[in-house]
Structure 1
Amino acid sequence: MSWLLGIAIFLATVLGMEGFAYVMHRWVMHGPGWFLHASHHRPRTGNWELNDLYAVIFAVPSIVLLLGGVQLGWWVGWAWIGAGIAAYGAIYFGFHDVIVHRRIATRYLPKSNYMKRIVQAHRLHHAVETKHGTVSFGFLWAPRPELLKAELKRRDRAGVRSPRITTAVD
């Protein structure tokens, strides 16, 4: 296989993973997989949460495809696909865990309109505590925040987290 075709397969896989991630997030994580994902919608107490098991689950196909395409004599395209899945996972980790949730300390502040948009969309996703009524399920693409806010309002803010109230101590 030519390098050019391999890179095209790799890039197509990275892009296709956004659609796969949307489907998994919306209909699996906020559906039957909520028992793991619910931990991600609650304050974390420690370095890990049950939701982190999804990273392990989604890494398995990437590892198998890389191994098969490189070492087991499968079609070499499987290795490019496995690498695309792994690259999406790395991008997801950098955006979601480092930039949005700050699980690793960083001084990064989103400055581009694109980064501000996806960070805000993800925060609006987390405004809802329940598995139902949530908006914005993508990771690298998100609707405009105004549309997401309007959708939450249309739903009468069902499941939206109550504002935190702080009181001054005299």
Structure 2
Amino acid sequence: MNLLINIAIVLAAFTGMEGVAWLTHKYIMHGIFWPLHKDHHLKEHYGFLERNDLFFLIFALPGIACLAAGTLYHLSVWSCIGTGITLYGACYFFVHDLFIHQRIKVLRNSDNRYLKAIRRAHKMHHKHTGKHDGESFGMLWVSWKYFRNTQRNSPS
């Protein structure tokens, strides 16, 4: 039973991170920390890394703190929360940096409707190059409107 509770906590933390990511992206990254985030919205990129990549380190800190507290004080709840946060960070890296922005060329021609919708939503987010008037601030949860025109390719 304890294992099921721990799994539920990990899944709840992972799921909750989508809300945290959405709120942080909309109100902090497109707010007070826009100077760090705006290079991510530029069409031209100068090198492999951006100032925006600092958020990867900033957002890793809560997961690290939870994992450390759970380990040091033998608090499985904090370890599970830290695990959920860390798993979300790993998914964010794979989906955002590898799949969407193709920093490493993977899944370039995916025929999966969900992956197409994620890519379309992010493209609409980047359509707005300024701080204001953005849309689609999350990563894994995608509004149904982005599923339109994402049917699977018919076989030739």
Q: Give the TM-score, by structure 1 length.
A: 0.81
Higher helix share: 2
- Given that residues 99 and 107 in structure 2 are in contact (C-alpha distance below 8 angstroms), is that contact kept between their aligned partners in structure 1? no
Query: 1:61 & 1:16 partners in 2: Cα distance?
Result: 13
Could you say which residue in structure 1 is the equivalent of 2:32? 32
- Runs ≥4 residues deviating over 4 A: none
Could you say which residue in structure 2 is the equivalent of 1:56? 57
Could you say which residue in structure 1 is the equivalent of 2:122? 122
Could you say which residue in structure 1 is the equivalent of 2:132? 132
RMSD: 1.6
1:123-152 alpha-carbon deviations (Å, 9 max, x no partner): 0100111011111111001221389xxxxx
Query: What is the aligned length?
Result: 146
Which structure would you say has the larger RCO, counting Cα contacts within 8 Å and 6 or more residues apart? Answer: 2
> 1:114 offset after TM fit, Å?
1.0
What percentage of aligned pairs have identical amino acids? 43
Q: Note the 1:1-170 alignment, pairs <5 A.
A: 2-42=2-42, 43-70=44-71, 72-143=72-143, 144-145=145-146
> 1:107 offset after TM fit, Å?
4.6
- Structure 1: runs of 5+ lacking an equivalent: 148-170
DSSP-derived class of the 1:103 partner: coil
Q: Give the TM-score, by structure 2 length.
A: 0.88
- Structure 2: runs of 5+ lacking an equivalent: 149-156
